[in-house]
Amino acid sequence: MQRIDRAYQLFFQHHNKGVRPPNFRKRIKYKSFTLKQAGYKFLAGNQLRIGKRVFKFWKSREIEGKIKTVTIKRNPLGELFLFVVTDYVDQISAIMTGNSAGFDFGLKVFLSCSDSTNIQSPLYLAQSLKQLRIAGRKHSTKKRGSNGKEKARQNLVRVHEQVVNRRSDWFWKLAHQLTDKFDYLFFETLNLKGMQRLWGRKIGDLALAEFLKILELVAEKKSKIVSYIDRWYPSTKTCFECNFVIDKLGLNERYWICPSCSTKHGRDSNASRVIQKVGASTLGLGDVSRQIGAVAV
């Protein structure tokens, strides 16, 4: 299994009190620098000495293992972040459940799972997206070159970072939940252009890709499998029960009835079941119906 170095993100508390690491004098030229074995020392009380200066930082988690590199980065607001990479290897003991599941990115819900559960984006994410829209609007109405414009820009950067961080936290948690529950997780290959057409917001597309990246990382650590079925497979239009494929299904049709076996399907939940079925048979996971039975909690 691939070894993943543990990285820490620490935040300097006194970034705005005139203290700045020596390399930051040329503000535009240097946005980050990395120290390897020498040039720094961690002191008691969350303090780091670089050269002759001492910086105080806020620590997101305890540092474990031997430190390999220390990187300091400055964001567009001039705030300093400290990244520490150590040789510590995360040991995640995963329990194999024997379960597999298919997932469909829904229009209304974040993910529709073949075990009949829907995973909604948390409310606080919707709220912070609203804040982001408000901040964007304020920024666009301010006069170019004015003080107000610069303030609005800083606010926009801050709100955007908040959204990204909150969402990323949620993605990690969700990735752990899903990989605890399932050994095999099937998705359709992302069609970003199609997603953009459906979602109409760029932020949504990027988020899906980011989530899958995180999920793959977590799955790898737990020896679980994330697998993709061909995105040209008509998962939305195929009947999960009898494999009948209907001609077309409009974007607004949330439900449909199979003309062959009369089963009433929810659009996303049927698709996620088809994805599970196709994925499981592609990987040769044996009796597909038993697999599906196993996850129908």
Binding residues for Zn ion, rule: CB under 5 A, are 239, 241-242, 244, 258, 260-261
Q: Give the nearest distance from C-beta 208 to Zn ion in angstroms.
A: 29
Q: Give the nearest distance from C-beta 261 to Zn ion in angstroms.
A: 3
Of 92 and 296, the one with the shorter C-beta distance to Zn ion is 296
Segment (H or E) for 83: strand 80-89
60: DSSP letter: S
* Residue 164, number of CB atoms within 10 A of its CB: 16
Q: Give the nearest distance from C-beta 265 to Zn ion in angstroms.
A: 8
Q: Give the nearest distance from C-beta 277 to Zn ion in angstroms.
A: 13
User: Partners of 6 in the beta sheet?
Assistant: 86
Of 157 and 249, the one with the shorter C-beta distance to Zn ion is 249
Of 92 and 242, the one with the shorter C-beta distance to Zn ion is 242
Contact predicate 38/49, CB 8 Å: no
Of 179 and 272, the one with the shorter C-beta distance to Zn ion is 272
Instruction: Using alpha carbons, select from 211, 210, 241 the residue that is nearest to residue 119.
Output: 211
Of 8 and 256, the one with the shorter C-beta distance to Zn ion is 256
Q: Give the nearest distance from C-beta 173 to Zn ion in angstroms.
A: 36
Contact predicate 223/270, CB 8 Å: no
Q: Give the nearest distance from C-beta 260 to Zn ion in angstroms.
A: 5
Of 39 and 259, the one with the shorter C-beta distance to Zn ion is 259
Instruction: Using alpha carbons, select from 87, 82, 47 the residue that is nearest to residue 67.
Output: 87
Characterize 51-81 residue by residue with b for buried, 16 or more Cβ atoms within 10 angstroms of its Cβ, and e for exposed.
eeeebebeeeeeeeeebeebebebeeeeebb
CA distance 178 to 47: 38
